[in-house]
């Protein structure tokens, strides 16, 4: 079973959502955030990237950054830019991008179920990044960015969501990036009970994106539990803010690779080594190649332009959920043995380009001096779930989700 819980969301007052809602803190740097908030004192970036309101050069992990985040959050509440619902509710959050929509239920998920691995993960987390979010949540006493969860679609839940979406939304705006954001409040007790009970039929939830935020929320819950002699299990810190999408709504985009040098190899030697594990096909000089099936790759080099690479049979174990991923096949058969990229997490000779930027970005990077680029076929939601079910971990930079969930639309206070 999966537990979802209604909560008293802190959220934008009427007419303020388009000004407050902001992209997640980790998709931009401080300089970009300062530029984004110009002329907008109520952007949620003042909370999620509060260093923008401190002197340039302030250490991102300095105590003053977290104190400023708390100050900015509660100023928004005090001034009425953010309001809090009087009763626990569920919410629907729909995003529309490029003609495709995805709709999820905004709720709180269970720290206990995360600990019991009923909420399944597919990534390792880094201690430093966890520590930052732990501090942010602890000092602000709030979860400000939702964890992006998914589950295998249940028809009855879909039907109830569709019924709710004929009602008047509480928010409906188009952001600067042309993504439309629509939200509905579910305050009818019958609807809430129906959805809570239906989710008890969901065997597992899966983290699609937000592993660090989830791990941090769990550690805050554990910390507060251990320091509360009157702990009951019903406290808000036992739950974390989430948006849960049916898997049928989601699409993972490609996450492409750019390599800075050829590891000392000349053209003929490089292509010969690649041909040992891949079938190479020339592409028309004026054409790009974006893979449209598993185990195929596009390769762009200054001397060969685009080529299609197809993994040869036997170059990967077909029944292994991790090693049969395209990112694993490319890493283990080309990037590591030929180009010398041993650990893509730490090697500064490799960079990653989200599919939202298009493969023209790969051409641009190579024409600007980088050595070569690889376009990838996207990892599927089924692959993600199968890996999580097997308690395995995906290679780094395997998935790119778009559109990104906006922060500031729904905030969960911990008491």
Mean pLDDT of 253-261: 95
Per-residue pLDDT band at 128 (split at 50, 70, 90): confident
Mean pLDDT of 271-299: 93
Question: Model confidence over 196-215: pLDDT tens digits?
Answer: 999 999 999 999 999 999 99
Question: Which tokens is 133 given?
Answer: 């979010």
Mean pLDDT of 74-91: 98
Per-residue pLDDT band at 11 (split at 50, 70, 90): very high
CA 227, CA 10: separation in Å to the nearest integer?
25
Q: What is the pLDDT of residue 127?
A: 85
Question: Model confidence over 372-393: pLDDT tens digits?
Answer: 999 999 999 999 999 999 999 9
Which residues are 220's β-sheet partners?
none
Per-residue pLDDT band at 302 (split at 50, 70, 90): confident
Q: What is the pLDDT of residue 125?
A: 85
Question: Model confidence over 388-409: pLDDT tens digits?
Answer: 999 999 988 898 899 999 999 9
Residue identified by tokens 């188009």 is: 174
Beta strands in 283-361 (DSSP E): 296-301, 305-311, 350-354
Residue pair 302/368 in contact (Cβ under 8 Å)? The answer is no
Per-residue pLDDT band at 281 (split at 50, 70, 90): very high
CA 381, CA 399: separation in Å to the nearest integer?
9
Q: What is the pLDDT of residue 286?
A: 76
Mean pLDDT of 28-49: 96
- What are the residue boundaries of the structural domains of the chain, listed by start? 4-251+402-413, 255-377
117 φψ region: left (φ > 0), alpha (ψ -120 to 50), beta (else): left
Q: 391 exposed, middle or buried (CB, 10 Å; 0-12, 13-18, 19+)?
A: exposed
In three-state secondary structure terms, 390 is coil
Q: What is the pLDDT of residue 303?
A: 80
State residue 284 phi and psi, 5-degree precision: -50, 135
Question: Model confidence over 323-359: pLDDT tens digits?
Answer: 999 999 999 999 999 999 999 988 999 999 988 888 8
Count of C-beta atoms within a 10 Å radius of residue 410: 27
Residue identified by tokens 């600007």 is: 368
Count of C-beta atoms within a 10 Å radius of residue 51: 21
Cα–Cα nearest to 169, from 180, 155, 158, 179: 180
Mean pLDDT of 223-248: 96
Question: Model confidence over 84-121: pLDDT tens digits?
Answer: 999 999 999 999 999 999 999 999 999 999 999 999 99
Could you give the percent of the chain with pLDDT greater than 70?
A: 100
CA 401, CA 247: separation in Å to the nearest integer?
12
């Amino acid at each position: 079973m999966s537990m979802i819980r209604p909560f008293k969301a802190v959220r934008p007052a009427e007419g303020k959502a388009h000004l407050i809602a902001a992209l997640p803190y980790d998709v931009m740097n401080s300089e970009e955030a300062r530029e984004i908030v110009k002329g907008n004192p109520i952007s949620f970036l003042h909370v999620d990237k509060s260093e923008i309101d401190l002197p340039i050069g302030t250490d991102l992990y300095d105590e003053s950054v977290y104190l400023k985040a708390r100050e900015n959050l509660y100023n928004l509440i005090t001034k009425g830019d953010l309001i809090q619902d009087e009763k626990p509710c569920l919410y629907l959050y729909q995003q529309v991008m490029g003609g495709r929509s995805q709709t999820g239920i905004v709720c709180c998920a269970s720290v206990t179920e995360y600990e019991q691995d009923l909420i399944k993960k597919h990534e390792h987390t880094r201690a430093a990044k966890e520590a930052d979010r732990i501090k942010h949540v602890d000092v602000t006493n709030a979860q400000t960015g939702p964890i992006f969860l998914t589950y295998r679609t249940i028809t009855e839940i879909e039907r109830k969501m569709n019924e709710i979406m004929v009602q008047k939304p509480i928010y409906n705006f188009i952001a600067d990036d042309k993504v439309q954001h629509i939200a509905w409040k579910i305050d009818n007790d019958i609807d809430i009970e129906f959805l809570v009970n239906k989710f008890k039929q969901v065997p597992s939830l899966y983290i699609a994106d937000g592993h660090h935020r989830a791990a941090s929320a769990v550690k805050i819950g554990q910390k507060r539990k251990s320091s509360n002699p009157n702990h009951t299990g019903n406290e808000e810190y036992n739950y974390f803010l989430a948006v849960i999408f049916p898997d049928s709504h989601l699409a993972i985009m490609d996450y492409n690779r750019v390599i800075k040098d050829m590891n000392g190899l000349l053209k003929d030697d490089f292509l010969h080594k690649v041909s040992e594990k891949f079938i190479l096909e020339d592409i028309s000089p004026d054409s790009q190649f974006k893979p449209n099936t598993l185990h195929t790759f596009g390769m762009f080099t200054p001397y060969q332009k685009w080529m299609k690479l197809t993994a040869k049979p036997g170059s990967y174990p077909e029944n292994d959920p991790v090693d049969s991923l395209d990112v694993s096949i490319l890493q283990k058969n080309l990037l590591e043995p030929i180009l010398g990229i041993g650990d893509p997490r730490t090697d500064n000779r490799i960079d990653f380009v989200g599919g939202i930027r298009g493969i023209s970005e790969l051409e641009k990077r190579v024409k600007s001096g980088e050595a070569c680029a690889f376009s990838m076929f996207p990892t599927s939601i089924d692959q993600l779930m199968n890996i999580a079910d097997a308690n395995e971990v995906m290679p780094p930079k395997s998935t790119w989700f778009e559109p990104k969930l906006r922060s500031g639309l729904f905030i969960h206070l911990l008491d």
